[in-house]
Amino acid sequence: MRKGRMSVFLGIDIGTSGTKTLAMNEKGRILADAMETYPCYVPKPLWSEQEPEDWWQATICSVRKVVAKAKLGPADVKGIGLSGQMHGSVFLDKNNKVVRRAILWNDQRTAAECDEIQRRAGGRKKLIRMVANPALTGFTAPKILWLRNHEPRKFDRVRKILLPKDEIRRRLTGEFATEVSDASGTLLLDVAKRRWSKKLLSALELDVDLFAECYESEDVTGTLTAETARLLGLSTDCVVVGGAGDCAAGAVGNGIVSRGVLSTSIGTSGVVFVHSDDVKIDPVGRVHTFCHAVRGKWHMMGVNLAAGGSLQWFRNELCKADVEKAKRAKQEVYDILAAEARKAPVGSHGLFFLPYLSGERTPHADPDARGCFVGLTLAHTRGHMLRAIMEGVTYSMRESLAIFDALGVPVRQIRASGGGSRSPLWRQIQADVFGRKVVTINTEEGPAYGVALLAAVGAGAFKNVREACAATIRVVQETPPDRKAKRHYDRAFPIYQQLYPALRDDFKSIGALEK
């Protein structure tokens, strides 16, 4: 960079499909970005693993590309923020060599270990009181017990257990460190006190020394080693901050850093994320409570496993001709489908869709749940079905919002992001179903942008995370609710809520037929 140019900060997001790196200046402008992909391994049904070395090579390649694209000199980059897929487990031996492939967030092998954790903790309610959340197969703690139960020789070699982004931190800085937002997803953090739960670790017979020191998200956790600095074309003066798990990092990138602001993200899955100044815990564990990437704050989160994924399934399986037509016309097929859905009336003439194509997490935590249309008649068209999918996903997200309301977490503004936010129809459906104004913002860069902001805070460009977000993020579009549509959805939502309990036992019976 030429003399007089601004400081630059990198955000690195170690995702499931690939690693994304972006460079941002201190005004929040993106200078360059790059993405490097890698495989996911499924050695058995319901297993999901990756090689940590693939993450590291993708980090090297993406950083080098960004440095070249933005024409950065070694001294230009002042800080790096790290984000990544949550809940994964990297097992290291005494020589810091990986013991086995990392087990990922979407791996489902640990049902027995979840039961073991609950039993050792003294029951589900006691476990939630300890770590704010129930035991779920995606979390890290069950994976650790699985290794101990099924691969004991490998477990005996383990000296450190790191989360995916924290393995990259070790490679960058030589330091063992994590931070509170990602650590919350291990199920081993005392979320209220923002430190490892010695009580649960003791019950599980796990040594606290297996885990990295826990920081706040904007804290400096180290600087680049000389070797890594040379490898990346950067300087040993470049600091690496705590960063955040991908959900909290994405929230920072959307400006969800103050009381009353909630985000909805409709990608493959759907996430409803709300900032909280205080610890709010759902006593029955329907939604997650984690530490936020904002110092001393928390967040609550509901997750729906097949949000945009439901519409994607419908497109792939039932709209193949439209996909080909869109390709020929160089159009986006979702725009064609949205136009068709727009012709259907509010409520889709009494047609409901349950978006449980991958089971469900919030609020039911039921892997046996199945997707279904309820209320089909001869009068319904494909457009009704498309709109019902959009409405069903939004009803599902409203269930999380209803839990937040019941727990006294205020929501004054809803910010929409992800692929669903790009659809004017889906934004309007969200506003109408939620009964609140939905806004969009000036950036859609996600977790990598959020942790670049955290790096800027850690390097001193901003006083705190809120100041960083206020300086770089702004609302660009507002969608108010339609009063007539809101009245309809308010009548229909209780009916939607009754459908899962009515079908729950049938879902289990259907699942038994498939085994």
Residue 316 Cα to chain centre, angstroms: 24
The DSSP code sequence of 303-319 is: EESSSHHHHHHHHHHH-
Active-site residue, selected from the candidate residues 33, 246, 282, 432: 246
Say if strands 220-223 and 239-241 run parallel, antiparallel, or are unpaired.
antiparallel
Do 365 and 347 contact (CB within 8 A), yes or no? no
Tally of CB atoms within 10 A around 473: 22
Q: What SS3 class is residue 502?
A: helix
d(C-alpha 352, C-alpha 372), whole Å: 8
For the chain, how many residues are written?
A: 515
Q: Which of 278, 242, 294, 230 is nearest to 470 (CA)?
A: 294
Residue 199 to residue 205: CA distance in whole angstroms: 10
| DSSP-derived pairing of the beta strands 18-25 and 8-14 | antiparallel
Across the strands, what pairs with 272?
264, 302
Distance CA 444, CA 417 (A): 7
Q: What are phi and psi of 37, to 5 degrees?
A: -100, 165
Contacts of residue 81, Cβ cutoff 8 Å, sequence gap at least 6: 9, 10, 11, 12, 240, 241, 243, 244, 249, 450, 451, 452, 453, 454, 455, 458
Residues sharing a CB contact under 8 Å with residue 46, sequence separation 6 or more, in sequence order: 107, 108, 109
Backbone angles phi, psi at 219, to 5 degrees: -65, 145
Token look-up 């725009």 returns: 335
246 flagged as catalytic: yes
Q: For residues 127 and 161, what is the distance between their CA atoms, to the nearest angstrom?
A: 21
First to last CA, the chain: 61
Single-letter amino acid, residue 489: Y
Q: Is 88 exposed, middle or buried, given 0-12, 13-18 or 19+ CB atoms closer than 10 A?
A: buried
Q: Residue 211: count other Cβ atoms within 10 Å of its Cβ.
A: 23
Please name the residues in contact with 506: beta carbons below 8 A apart, sequence gap of 6 or more: none
Is 298:183 a contact under the CB 8 Å cutoff?
no
**Which of these, 170, 213, 205, lies nearest to 189 by C-alpha position?**
213
**CA-to-CA distance for 66 and 80, rounded, in angstroms?**
13
Most distant CA atoms of the chain, gap in Å: 70
Phi first, then psi, for residue 312 (nearest 5°) are: -65, -40
Q: Cα dist. 57→40, 74, 203, 503 in Å?
A: 15, 20, 37, 47
Q: Tell me the catalytic residues.
A: 246
